[in-house]
Structure 1
Amino acid sequence: MEKKIKILGILILILASGCKKSSKPPESSLPETAIDIQVLTQNLSLPWELVWGPDNMIWMTERGGKVSRVNPSNGSLNVLITVPDVKSIGEGGLLGMALHPDFSSNPFVFLAYNYDKAGTYTEKIVRYTYNGTTLINPMVILDNIPAANNHNGARLLISPDLKLFISTGDAANQATAQSLNSRSGKILRINLDGTIPSDNPINGNPLWSYGHRNPQGLVYVNGKLYSSEHGPDKDDEINVIVKNRNYGWPSVNGFCNESAEQSFCNANNVAEPLKSWTPTIAVSGMDFYNNDAISQLKNSLILATLKDQTLYQLKLNSAGDGIEETKELFRGTYGRLRDVCVGADGKIYVATSNGSNDKIIVLKGK
């Protein structure tokens, strides 16, 4: 009997071993693509926005007022215009930029910047036309956005249905984030000619969501609008932006996890973030990566941080409503990081924000 049991045990081990060999290895065991990191160009002054253009060039704003095209193959830079009425104070100046998706037929460049409006520091959205050499025919499509020397938001994004989303900060006046009549502390949504879409939450109002402190990243992926938002001394956030939702500021930081916050959240339809960081890392620009060139980064938000000086991968779940994993791609090497742009070639371009000899860094698969 004992001999039969031993033989049976050996057979079980053999069968188990055979099943293990024939099973597919888990995806996580596959080798990751090695990443090469280099400086593409330098001697920049506070770059703020990087956009991959339809001409396969990197379009860039610098806070002092310059709009340039950067060649991704050799880093050469062509200044298109220095916007004359930009006023750069503190963290203000020339900030966000978006290009019309059908650029060959509609060569429109949308800029968000701060200027002096009869003695009041103000932000506006201006649509320029690219004539192949410079930017011409400025048209103001939204004005009277409060500005300050910090908390200006000012990231721009055009959705597939041709709506322009604009992030605005509280402009150092916290209470305005909860006011539906203020353009501060909001995600705004307008048509590309500056008119207000008929399906916005409030008739004739550009408001789309509210209760924001200082959102500086916007990405639209698979029908979802993601934002990154600076917290005060705690709770930087990654949010999914939903029409007419309240994101809590200044009464709520991050999740509704304190008693006073819970009361406010229940009474005010507050949307909680996908992720928060305490202490804060100063989240800024981000983009979405879904290219085979660096396969381990697929289905991820790529996030630049200022205080933390780190480039992060935020791996999304299949539904896009959660972050499965957070990884550092590099830390501390290049100082403060302001924005991220993913090229059609699968390379990742990152702008620093140090105020002296700023750079564009490129990450590519080896």
Structure 2
Amino acid sequence: MYKWFKLYLLFSLVLQSACNGNNANDQPAPQLSDAELVDKVLAEGLNYPWELVLGPDNNIWMTERGGRVSRIDPETGAVTEVATIKEVEARGEGGLLGMALHPNFDANPEVFLVYNYNRSGTYTEKVVKYRYNGTSLVNPVVLVDNIAAANIHNGSRLLITPDLKLFITTGDAASPASAQNTAALNGKILRINLDGSIPTDNPISGNPVWSFGHRNAQGLVLVGTTLYSSEHGPSQDDEINLIQKGRNHGWPNVNGFCDADERAFCEENKVVEPLKSYTPTIAVSGMDYYNHDQIPQWKHSLLVATLKDNTLYQFKLSDDGNEITETNEFYRSKYGRLRDVLVAPNGKVYVATSNGSNDKVIEISRGN
């Protein structure tokens, strides 16, 4: 009996070891050590840069609010002008804003821009598609027009998804009520096809609105199939949002999370609460997603540039991306106001300042 008992114990230990994966092939991957961060000025002498996009030529494409589109060589920092959009009218926060390049740029060298201009005496925003001929932008085609503009709250970021849909953030243009009106283009995230037509699977038939109830979203990034935005609050409640198709994000009836006096509106209108809210505001702007081994401590994180707070924020995401689990701050007040952040495929990060005097693009890389 004792012999059989010993065999039973031995069998149990072997089985437990197998279930726990206690063999060399099942050991977890070694934890990567945190990287030392090294930052340097790549380019300077700029005037309110707004958007940074990595082009297929491995250059950083950049917009400046006054109307200039340029390419920056990431090796030398040399800035080459591609175009100056003469129609752009920079007024207050308005001017030349977001930019996106066609994902298959070699076959379709299309550049998408959103900017403010004077439309017969009315300050207006529009989205225009250009063609890049190798040296400059030509053949403009207007995709969306007659978006109300103002000295404040114009948005606007552009993002093209792998299924070739163009997302556009618009501000409320100082008219908060428009954010709740799905017939208006302001205070929204819009979604169109690359020819300007409206996708058949949009939430409202024949309508470019994808989500509404936004005040002034100036950051937009796609992680897998999940869309995130950063949005300016008034004097409180800047937001980091997970955008949901057809849903109401609350503004102006709700700021940040659904507080007691906002609860009834939230329930009645199925308002989506933010992942994170900041009071006092830090003025969140451009954002990108980091998931590279070069800076292991930033993996699976949103990186967000802030204006008032003069800081680059890291928001670590949960495995499913539905929560922010950790927040870290970098470069507070070192470079002033920060407008946009770009993550390159090689793991380097580029940040644009927004000080209005000798603005810069900063390169952040691994130092050890």
> TM-score, with normalisation over the residues of structure 1?
0.92
For residues 329 and 365 of structure 1, what CA distance do their matches in structure 2 show?
A: 14
CA 1:60–1:75 in 2, change beyond 3 Å: closer, same or farther? same
Show the counterpart of 2:87. 85
- Would you say the 8 A contact 2:51–2:62 is kept in 1? yes
Question: What amino acid maps onto 1:291 in structure 2?
Answer: H
Report the Cα offset of residue 259 of structure 1.
2.2
Cα drift, residue 25 of structure 1:
12
The equivalent of 1:213 in structure 2 is 215
Letter in 2 for 1:194: G
Residue segments in structure 2 that go unaligned for 5+ positions in a row: 1-25
Q: Which segments of 5 or more consecutive residues in structure 1 lack a partner in the other structure?
A: 1-23
Q: In the alignment, what sits opposite 1:14? A: none
Shift, 1:27, TM fit = 9.7
Residues 14-37 of structure 1, C-alpha deviations (whole Å, 9 max, x = no match): xxxxxxxxxx99999863110001
- Cα distance between partner residues in 2 of 1:248 and 1:27: 43
Where does residue 11 of structure 2 map in the other structure?
none
Q: What amino acid sits opposite 1:180 in the alignment?
A: T
Task: Give the deviation of 1:55 after TM superposition.
Answer: 1.1
What's the offset of the Cα at 1:70? 0.3
Q: Encode CA deviations 1:258-315: one digit per residue, 9 max, x unaligned.
A: 2221010000010000011110000000000111111111111110000000001111
Could you list the per-position Cα deviations for residues 110-158 of structure 1 after superposition, in whole angstroms to 9, with x for gaps in the alignment? 0000000011100000000001100000000110111001100110000
- Contact kept? 1:65, 1:86, Cα under 8 Å: yes
Q: Is the 2:316–2:327 contact (alpha carbons within 8 Å) kept by the matching residues of 1?
A: yes
Alignment counterpart, residue 181 of structure 1, candidates 183, 205, 212: 183
* Residues 110 and 126 in structure 1, CA contact (< 8 A), matched pair in contact too: yes
Instruction: Determine the C-alpha separation between the residues in 2 that align with 1:113 and 1:83.
Output: 9
Match of 2:236 among 234, 237, 241: 234
Q: Distance in 2 between matches of 1:330 and 1:193?
A: 40
Q: 3-state SS of the aligned residue for 1:91?
A: coil
Residue 132 of structure 1 is aligned with which of 131, 134, 144? Answer: 134
Deviation at 1:329, TM superposition (A): 2.0
Which letter does structure 2 place at the counterpart of 1:228?
A: S
Does 1:301 find its partner at 2:302?
yes
* CA deviation string 1:314-344 (max 9, x = no partner): 1111001111100012110000000000112
Aligned twin of 2:365: 364
The answer to whether the 8 A contact 2:249-2:273 is kept is yes
Distance 1:25 1:327 in 2: 30
Distance 1:255 1:361, change over 3 A: same
Distance 2:196 2:244 in 1: 21
**Structure 1 residues 71 and 30: CA distance shift in structure 2, 3 A:** closer
Task: Report the 3-state secondary structure (helix = DSSP H, G, I; strand = E; otherwise coil) of the residue aligned with 1:190.
Answer: strand
Q: Distance between the aligned counterparts of 1:220 and 1:108, measured in 2?
A: 20
Separation in 2 of the partners of 1:162 and 1:255?
Answer: 32
- State the match for 2:355 in structure 1: 354
Is 1:319 equivalent to 2:320 in the alignment?
A: yes
C-alpha distance in 2 between matches for 1:113 and 1:31:
43
Distance 2:238 2:302 in 1: 15
- For 2:227, which of 225, 228, 250 is the aligned residue? 225
Q: Tell me the residue number matched to 1:290.
A: 291
Kept in 2, the 8 Å contact 1:56–1:344? The answer is no
What is the one-letter code of the residue matched to 2:236? K
Structure 1 letter corresponding to 2:285: S
1:168 paired residue number: 170
Taking the aligned partners of 1:235 and 1:102, their CA distance within structure 2 comes to 38
User: Which amino acid is 1:48 matched to?
Assistant: W
Counterpart residue identity of residue 278, structure 2: W
Task: State the shift of 1:175 in Å.
Answer: 0.4
Give the match for residue 255 of structure 1. Answer: 257
Identify the match of residue 33 of structure 2 among 15, 31, 34.
31
2: CA distance between counterparts of 1:250 and 1:306? 22
Q: 1:339 aligns to what? A: 340
Task: Give the TM-score, by structure 2 length.
Answer: 0.91
Matched, 1:66 2:59: no
Deviation string 1:81-103 (CA, Å, 9 cap, x unpaired) is 00010000000000000000000
**Residue identity matched to 2:175:** N
